[in-house]
């Protein structure tokens, strides 16, 4: 642990001097160039707080980030520091092709390197959209300088024909109705303009909201920061406070690796279960833990889900939205409710043990119904279940809370799609004669195969949707949006592209899911599988650039899909 009692002398702008072979010259030149930006000696003698800015016109979820930058800067200046904003890659989930996932590691690597390479005594990491927060937390763990996460906050809800709605559980629900012929072109156009009424992140408990809650639960965000709506005064005051607190962390450092302990991950997994959070968070938490040298397994995820019931009434597991959770007290109130199940010794950026912090938090109030109690939860334990079996020897995941109960034990014949593109091209073909009892299999959509897109919740074939079928068993090595729902087995590892069992499935093979037994099995004789394996030919890797480097080095989903040369080996369990 850092010596928290002894103030450190900040190094400020002289940190990590540029290598000219003459330290005096390096300092002098640095000051000369900063003078051109209007900084004088009085400015440059101050501690430096870097502010990682992920705003971009491609990332509408970060539309309000410029004013958050100004708010953080104000906090730093008020506390006597020098704020320096630096841009990093911005990852807007909806505008990245083929998927944002490979770029999480690129942003993590870039952010880590920029924290190291540029002079800063602390850093405030501004994120929001799905992959930005996990990337920044991974970077924080690896760079290990005082760091505080701030998010843009969730959008406010919209409405359509009197119904309250928001991105993106309602996006998927209405699109499914449109595919089924229950909505016309006029209606879907109106909905399109109502789903995302403000800047900010998706206002359901999708991946962005889940990761914001997890950042706060881990202790890398000041209390109350996960749920304040984008553009609100709460959001801006939180940003100012983060700037001030960054300065205090310079004087009395608490480093990310002090915070990212096993206790912190225990608490984060409890929050993940209580909010009915995104399956994507499992991969992200695993990756962050590996960066921090904490061994986090799929069994840890499963155990937490068995221990903690669903407490938060937000879509897709519930009916409400993040603004409701914020009004109900946000993550601090949720943590207060969960206190008997948490490790209260954990210390985050606030510098005080969680148990002490929670003494000042009111319990969930009777006037609200968004944050439920352990005595009267919204849903049972076991919202997330991790599976193993002959189809996923290294693990797979299903969100039981989003599945159809009658499909939780199901055996059916496989209909195999060789890629997300293949699925998009053929899934509606009547010639496939798909019935509701079939199992839709998508492969080559794992980390190596396709960068692991959110393609796992394959659409129900149009002719079945039009006949009223709303769910089928689907199995893949892909991910699924945190806003999606259905009986969907995800993250099968090892993936098909590296020769995992999914690569060996043929149309008509029997697949058995037994969630109670935590099994997903391919019911094909081992001798036949061995014969098929002998003929396995891996798909070609991307030809060049980041996508090739990523495919050559990405780890499997059960290991967090980090790059093999970035994640330190965790200590033995």
Q: Which residues bind ligand FES (CB under 6 A)?
A: 61, 93-94, 129-130, 167-168, 201-202, 206, 208
Which candidate, 466, 422, 267, 479, places its Cα nearest to that of 355? Answer: 267
Nearest distance from residue 129's CB to ligand FES, in Å?
3
Note the helical H segments in 430-478: 447-450, 462-466
Measured from the CB atom, the residue of 60 and 419 that comes closer to ligand FES is 60
Tokens of 375: 């005595």
Measured from the CB atom, the residue of 61 and 148 that comes closer to ligand FES is 61
Measured from the CB atom, the residue of 202 and 480 that comes closer to ligand FES is 202
Tokens of 114: 């920029």
Measured from the CB atom, the residue of 61 and 150 that comes closer to ligand FES is 61
Nearest distance from residue 256's CB to ligand FES, in Å?
23
Measured from the CB atom, the residue of 154 and 486 that comes closer to ligand FES is 154
Nearest distance from residue 455's CB to ligand FES, in Å?
16
CA distance 551 to 102: 9
Pairing of strands 309-310, 473-476: unpaired
Tokens of 339: 């206190």
Nearest distance from residue 62's CB to ligand FES, in Å?
8
Which 3 state secondary structure label does DSSP give 264? helix
Spatial contact of 132 and 96, defined as CB atoms under 8 Å apart = no
Angle in degrees, CA 25, 31, 35, rounded to 5? 145
CA distance 106 to 376: 43
Nearest distance from residue 237's CB to ligand FES, in Å?
22
Nearest distance from residue 61's CB to ligand FES, in Å?
3
Spatial contact of 88 and 65, defined as CB atoms under 8 Å apart = no
Phi, psi of 220 (to 5 degrees): -95, 5
Measured from the CB atom, the residue of 196 and 396 that comes closer to ligand FES is 196
Note the helical H segments in 201-329: 207-218, 233-251, 256-259, 262-274, 280-291, 298-307, 322-327
Distances (CA, A) of 55 to 51, 125, 232, 280, 284: 12, 12, 18, 22, 21
Please state the length of the chain: 573
**Displacement of CA 177 from its chain's centroid (Å):** 27
CA distance 128 to 200: 8
Nearest distance from residue 151's CB to ligand FES, in Å?
10
Nearest distance from residue 28's CB to ligand FES, in Å?
44
Spatial contact of 166 and 195, defined as CB atoms under 8 Å apart = yes
Nearest distance from residue 210's CB to ligand FES, in Å?
10
Measured from the CB atom, the residue of 202 and 331 that comes closer to ligand FES is 202
Measured from the CB atom, the residue of 148 and 196 that comes closer to ligand FES is 196
Nearest distance from residue 392's CB to ligand FES, in Å?
27
Measured from the CB atom, the residue of 167 and 455 that comes closer to ligand FES is 167
CA distance 202 to 100: 15
Q: What is the DSSP string of 523-544?
A: -S-HHHHHHHHHT--PPPPPSS
Measured from the CB atom, the residue of 71 and 168 that comes closer to ligand FES is 168
């Amino acid at each position: 642990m850092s010596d928290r009692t002894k103030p450190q002398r900040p190094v400020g702008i002289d940190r990590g001097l540029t290598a000219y072979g003459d330290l005096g010259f390096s300092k002098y030149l640095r000051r000369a160039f900063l003078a051109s930006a209007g900084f004088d000696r009085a400015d440059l003698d101050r501690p430096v707080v870097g502010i990682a800015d992920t705003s971009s016109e491609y990332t509408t979820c970060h539309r309000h980030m410029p004013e958050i930058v100004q708010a953080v800067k104000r906090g730093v200046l008020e506390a006597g520091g020098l704020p320096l904003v630096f841009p990093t890659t911005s990852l807007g989930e909806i505008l990245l092709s083929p998927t944002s996932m490979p770029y999480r590691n690129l942003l993590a690597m870039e952010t880590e390197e920029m924290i190291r390479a540029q002079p800063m005594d602390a850093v405030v990491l501004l994120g929001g959209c799905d992959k930005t927060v996990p990337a920044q937390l991974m970077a924080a763990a690896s760079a290990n300088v005082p760091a505080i996460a701030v998010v843009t906050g969730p959008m406010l809800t919209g409405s359509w024909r009197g119904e309250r709605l928001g991105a993106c559980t309602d996006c998927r629900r209405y699109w499914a109705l449109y595919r089924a012929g229950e909505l016309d072109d006029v209606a879907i156009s109106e909905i399109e303009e109502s789903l995302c009424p403000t800047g900010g992140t998706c206002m359901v408990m999708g991946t962005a909201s889940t990761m914001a809650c997890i950042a706060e639960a881990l202790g890398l965000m000041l209390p109350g920061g996960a749920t304040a709506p984008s553009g609100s005064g709460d959001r801006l005051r939180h940003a100012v406070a983060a700037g001030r607190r960054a300065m205090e962390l310079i004087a009395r450092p608490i480093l990310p690796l002090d915070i990212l302990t096993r206790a912190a991950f225990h608490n984060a997994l409890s929050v993940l279960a209580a909010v009915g959070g995104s399956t994507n968070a499992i991969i992200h938490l695993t990756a962050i833990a590996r960066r921090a040298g904490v061994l986090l397994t799929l069994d840890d995820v499963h155990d937490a889900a068995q221990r903690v019931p669903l407490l938060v009434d937000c879509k897709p597991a519930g009916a409400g939205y993040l603004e409701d959770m914020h009004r109900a007290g946000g993550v601090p109130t949720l943590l207060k409710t969960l206190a008997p199940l948490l490790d209260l010794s954990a210390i985050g950026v606030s510098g005080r043990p969680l148990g002490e912090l929670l003494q000042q938090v009111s319990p969930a109030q009777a006037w609200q119904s968004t944050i439920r109690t352990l005595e009267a939860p919204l849903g049972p334990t076991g919202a997330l279940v991790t599976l193993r079996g002959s189809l996923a020897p290294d693990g797979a995941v299903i969100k039981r809370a989003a599945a159809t109960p009658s499909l939780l034990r199901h055996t059916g014949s496989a209909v195999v799609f060789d890629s997300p593109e293949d699925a998009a091209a053929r899934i509606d073909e009547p010639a496939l004669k798909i019935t509701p009892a079939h199992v839709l299999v998508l492969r080559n959509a794992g980390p190596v195969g396709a960068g692991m897109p959110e393609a796992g919740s394959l659409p129900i074939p149009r002719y079945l949707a039009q006949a009223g079928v709303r769910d089928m068993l689907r199995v893949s090595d892909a991910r699924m949006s945190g806003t999606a729902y259905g009986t969907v087995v995800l993250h099968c590892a090892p993936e098909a592209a590296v020769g995992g069992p999914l690569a060996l499935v043929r149309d008509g093979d029997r697949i058995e899911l037994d969630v109670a037994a935590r099994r997903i099995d391919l019911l094909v004789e081992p001798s036949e599988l061995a014969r098929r394996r002998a003929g396995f030919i891996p798909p070609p890797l991307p030809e060049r650039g980041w996508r090739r480097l990523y495919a050559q080095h990405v780890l499997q989903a059960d290991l967090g899909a980090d790059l093999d040369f970035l994640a330190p080996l965790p200590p033995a369990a």
